[in-house]
Each structure stands twice: as structure tokens, then as C-alpha cells.
Amino acid sequence: MHDLRVTAQHHGIGAWRDHPGRDGGGKKQRDHYLVFFDAAGFADVALVNLREPMYFGTDADEAYKFALGLQGWLLDGLDDAARDDALVKLHASLAGHTGADGTVAYDAAMWIITARKP
């Protein structure tokens, strides 16, 4: 794992900085990953850009509970006013992503990467 991290740092690839949604999963980003896996000694590298909605709940209230269950720790350390503001904005964002059927979903993207280690 250390070799992969060093290779990633050398090529400027970071799991949070580069993802398929950032630039539409374009050729430049794809090439970064191909270089990364090649430098790490992998062969037959294949990348598939998957785009599917990410569902958070059957309505904004359920999605709010789900999101806080996953990421509520990010609010730790905020004062009461900042926390309240963040919670109001979260609920508004979730409500804004409610579809005609009532479910809450955001556009999502990821790379599915397969490779062989010779």
C-alpha cells in the first residue's frame, strides 16, 4: 500500500481530489489513473466511468436522518449558531433534490477500475 501512495503522490492523484464527477470523467483524469496503475506495476488496466443517482431516502426527512447518521460527526466542534445553520442548509439541499416520486437523490459518479498484477 505504501508504494501505491507514493506513486499517487508523485503523479498528483488523490482519492478526494480526483473523481469522475469533478471533470466529467474525461480523458485527462483517465490518463492519470492509467499512469498511476502502470507505475505501480499493474497490467490490463480498465476503467469504467459509472454514473448513477445516489439515493438518500424516501423523503427529505428520512434522507436528513440518513445523512446525519453518515456525516453528522462533521458538525462536531461547531458552535450552536453554525451547527443550526448547517442543519438548515442540509435539509434545504435534501429537499431540493427530492424527485417527483418523493425520493431524495443526488447525481453521483465513480470509477470502476480493474487491473491485473503480473
pLDDT beyond 60 at 79: yes
> Between 26 and 81, where is the model more confident?
81
Q: How many domains does the chain have?
A: 2
Calculate what percentage of the chain has a pLDDT beyond 90: 46
My answer on whether 5 and 41 are in the same domain is yes
My answer on whether 47 and 1 are in the same domain is yes
CA 66 to chain centre: 16
pLDDT at residue 16, rounded to an integer: 38
Give 22's contacts (C-beta < 8 A, 6+ positions apart): 29
My answer on whether 118 and 96 are in the same domain is no
CB burial of 48-85 (b: ≥16 within 10 Å; e: otherwise) equals: eeeeeeeebbeebeebbebbeeeeeeeeeeeeeeeeee
pLDDT at residue 47, rounded to an integer: 87
pTM (two decimals): 0.61
- What is the extent of the structural domain holding 34? 1-51+109-118
- Range 27-52 average pLDDT: 85
pLDDT at residue 2, rounded to an integer: 38
